[in-house]
Structure 1
Amino acid sequence: MAPDPAAADRHPPVVACVGAVVHDAQGRLLLIRRAHEPSRGLWSVPGGRVEPGEALTAAVEREVREETGLAVRAGASVGRVWIPGAGVVYDVVDFTCTLLDPGAEPVAGDDADAVVFADAAELARLTCTPRLLETLRGWGVLPG
């Protein structure tokens, strides 16, 4: 039986992704401004696609290093979101992460064109990816 070409439209491919919830010693949240689609120019937590055969925790540690230059250790998963994209659905598992060198300064790299540790006041001024703040608020991980 031939594959149904319309099946892809009904069930777009799912892309495994991770996100990192990283706070500094002052409780500020690490954010990157996305340099590429989806959501180019908007602020979000560091993260990205999981490579084939890669553990989710290894992926989140790699993505933070690539996008911010910071070394982290992945902790517990804080939540999961499904984000529709162009012909795909991104299945994003977010993890709390601990900075391995709390004194290190982030530097934008890879898929980020800017990086910042944001407190609550700065978060209110940034244009973030859709539903980011309400999702993180619901998970109890926004700066106070």
Structure 2
Amino acid sequence: MSHATDAFAAELPVVACVGAVVLDARGRLLLIRRGHEPGRGLWSVPGGRVEAGESAAAAVEREVREETGLAVRAGTEVGRVRVRGPGVLYDVVDLTCTLLDPEATPVAGDDADAVTFADAADLERLTCTPQLLETLRGWGVLPT
């Protein structure tokens, strides 16, 4: 996640987005490998755009289901970043989410071409989207 800081970024249209911070019973973080740009081939938390009339909680639950097949219940906001995209500024609210079926197995779908639960060692070897690990570490939500 790169943070948009320049004056030009402030003039871009803002697109509301969500990200899901989902930990399984073993404390591993749910990640998807992006199947499309931006960030194709990079690992990130599930998420995407908030649709018209949709709450952040409803959007994050939908995005997790579409990208991983898992049902979650949205929890509290853990942080917010602004990420510059092609001609837009994504305003991403990241929410904690609880798995409704801890035994369910994730399956890649929608924008994801792979999905995994990653522990701390896995996170060190995966190529993640820019600033993802630093941001999540700063919010205190990474597996230890």
Runs (4+) of structure 1 exceeding 4 A deviation are none
Structure 1 unmatched runs, 5+: 1-7
Q: Where does 1:1-144 land on structure 2 (aligned, <5 Å)?
A: 11-144=11-144
Rg (Cα) greater in structure: 1
- Distance in 2, Cα, partners of 1:44 & 1:73: 19
The answer (yes or no) to whether the contact 2:47–2:60 under 8 Å persists in 1 is yes
Shift of 1:9: 8.0
> AA paired with 2:83?
I
> AA paired with 2:91?
D
> AA paired with 2:35?
A
Alpha carbon RMSD of aligned pairs, Å? 1.2
TM-score by length of 2: 0.93
Structure 2 unmatched runs, 5+: 1-7
- Distance in 2, Cα, partners of 1:121 & 1:97: 22
- Distance in 2, Cα, partners of 1:142 & 1:94: 13
How much identity, in percent, do the aligned residues show?
A: 80
Aligned residues: 137
> AA paired with 2:131?
R
TM-score by length of 1: 0.93
- Distance in 1, Cα, partners of 2:10 & 2:136: 29
